[in-house]
Each structure stands twice: as C-alpha cells, then as structure tokens.
Structure 1
Amino acid sequence: MTVKASSRQAIVDAAAQLIRASGVQGTSISDLIAASGTSAGAIYHHFPSKNAIVVEVAREAMAWPMAALAEYRDRPASPSDLLSYAMTALTDAPELGDLLIALGAGAATDDDLGQQLRDEVGRLRDSVEETMLAWAMANGVPHGRVQGYSQLLIGLTLGFVSQRRLVSNFDEQSYAAQAVRLMALPQAEG
C-alpha cells in the first residue's frame, strides 16, 4: 500500500469511526485531521468535500454485501437466505448498524448528501433485486413473485438496525426469525 493510499484509507476509517460516534453533522474536517493523523492537504487531495468522504464511508460499508451478492450470481440465494445473512452480519458487526443509523440521520439533514447516499443504497438494492430474480429463474418462481422484495429486504434490515438502538427490550432473534419467514417463497408454484 502506498503512502497516498494508506492516508486515504486512514481518512475513511477515521471518518467511519467519528460518524458512528458523533454523527455526520458532529464530524468536522478538523476532527478527521486529528483522528486520521493526516492533514487538511491530505484530506482535500483525496476528497473534494466532507460529503465525498461520507459517501466513501457508505460505499465501503456496502462493499462487503455487494461482494457477497456477486458471489451468489452463479448460485443465487433465496430472498429469505439473503435476509438471514444480512441479519447475521448486523448481529456480528453492530458497528455497521450504528454507522447506517448515523448515515441516515446525515442524509435527512443534508439534501445533497441524502441524494448521494440514496444513490449508493439504490445500487445495493438493485444488486439484491438481481440476485433475487436470478434465484427465481433458477427455482421456477415467476419474476413477479420476487419483484420488489429487494425493497422489503432493505426495509426489514433497516428496521432491525433501528429497533436495536431505539426500542427497549427489542427481541432481535424473534424479529430476525419472523422477518426471514416473511421473505420465504416456495421454490415453484404448485
């Protein structure tokens, strides 16, 4: 890794940590300089704005699910399996859920950032949809039965993340089990 690449990654990593802890609005460029051990010059060399850094944080947070979906292109997972994988990942890495909540809050207070983040999440949703349609084709399920399920999967996932942080006595296991059952489809119509 080159010095330039490592300083870029240090900035993104520091931004993710700061956003989880303080939110998008509570994270300043001076905070990023201190947390990343870089300089304003390094930050602006790699990113034209704070919003560009935030979008890169979101892009990196979605990189692992995008990579996992790409692996399923040859043997696509069912909608319920995809949701189960998402719930397990969020249970194993709760910091990702915290980051999603903070990014959502940042998107709500900045229209330009909100549009950029919607574009990133839209790419993930489209990839989920493609995987579900491939699963439907491979299992004799009419496309119409799974169309729109990607939106439901994203909604159930974000609901899981939100309730974990906002609802007292939230039963994660029960929610995940019910959500996975909701996403279950028969493999062929009978």
Structure 2
Amino acid sequence: LPEQLSVLLVPRTAPVETEVWKTGSFPLTPAPEAACWARRKSDAELLDKTVSRMRQALLDFHAAFELNAAIAQTFFQRALVLSFQRKYAQVIDEFTELSKRQFITDASLYVLIAKAKMKCSDNQGGLVDLDHALRISPDNHQVYLQRGLCYMNLKDYAAAQTEFSKCLDLHPRFAKVCVAVFFSFKRALSWFAVFFFC
C-alpha cells in the first residue's frame, strides 16, 4: 500500500499513451491535463449553476413586478426594472410624461434614459439627455463614458476618445473606459487604413 501511495504522489512525466503502450495498463496517477480539465469542467458547471440561479432570480423579479408594479418605489427603480425587461420604449415614454409634470434633478436617471435611447438607436437623443446629466453632475464619470459610447455608435471616434479621456481623468482605473478607448482607437485606425490604403 505505501508503494501505491508513493506512485499517486509522484508527478507524472510521461504521456498516458506511452505508459499504456509500455505497461499495458493505465497509470494510477491522473495526467496533469486531465486534472486541469476536471477543474475547468467543475468551474464551468459552477458557472452554469450561477447563471441559472441568476436567470431564475431575474424571472422571479419580473414576475413579482408584473404582479405588483408598486414594488418600484421611485421612477428610477421602475425605469431600472423596465430596462432589465428590455422595455426601453416604455421607459422613454414614461420618462417623457414624468418630465412634463416635474423638473428632473437626478443625473443617474438621465444616464439611464440615455442608455435606453441608445438601445433604441437614438444616439442623438441619448446625447441630449447626457447633456442634461452633465449640467446636473459635471464630475460624473459615467456621463462621459455614455457620451463616448454614443459617439462611437455615431462613428465619431475622435469625439468618443475625447469623452473617454475626460472619463479617465475623473476615474483613472475605470476598466470599462479602457476597453472602450481601445475599441474606438481600433475602429478609428481601421477607417484610416480603409480611407488611405484602399
């Protein structure tokens, strides 16, 4: 028995096929790649379970909201829930009605509405809402990020990079901006290459 344990503890160096060919039997120790595969498989299963739970929680949330819309106590909460449900046009319509009745002073709400407009391919409308948000909260890095994304959708990469730079000035470690800057720069270079070299 101790010899078998020592075999289990010794790291494998030869591939499985070689040992099977030489000895006629499978080795007792698993190959490192097999152990790695088993770990990755268990990680993937855990991720699947987590995603499944998140989907179920989202479905429960949607069902609760459909049964009683009053669970959203503020318009921002309601708009957020509707955005999760991908009801962007409804969010925009309800915001338009709300803005006729009262003066909006929440920059986060303007950002949320701008995102909904971007999802509906109304990037110009999104920029208008982000201008309102910028007047309310000029140091909000999220506003600059969303403005940059609007400009990217409009294929104005120079303006997008300007907005992303402002965002990075306010929040230097903001990973989303770094990714967006990379893609805007990459797209700008591809347009440059197409224009000058084709």
The alignment's TM-score, normalised by the length of structure 2, stands at 0.21
The alignment's TM-score, normalised by the length of structure 1, stands at 0.22
Q: Which has the higher contact order (CA 8 A, sep 6+)?
A: 1
Larger Rg: 2
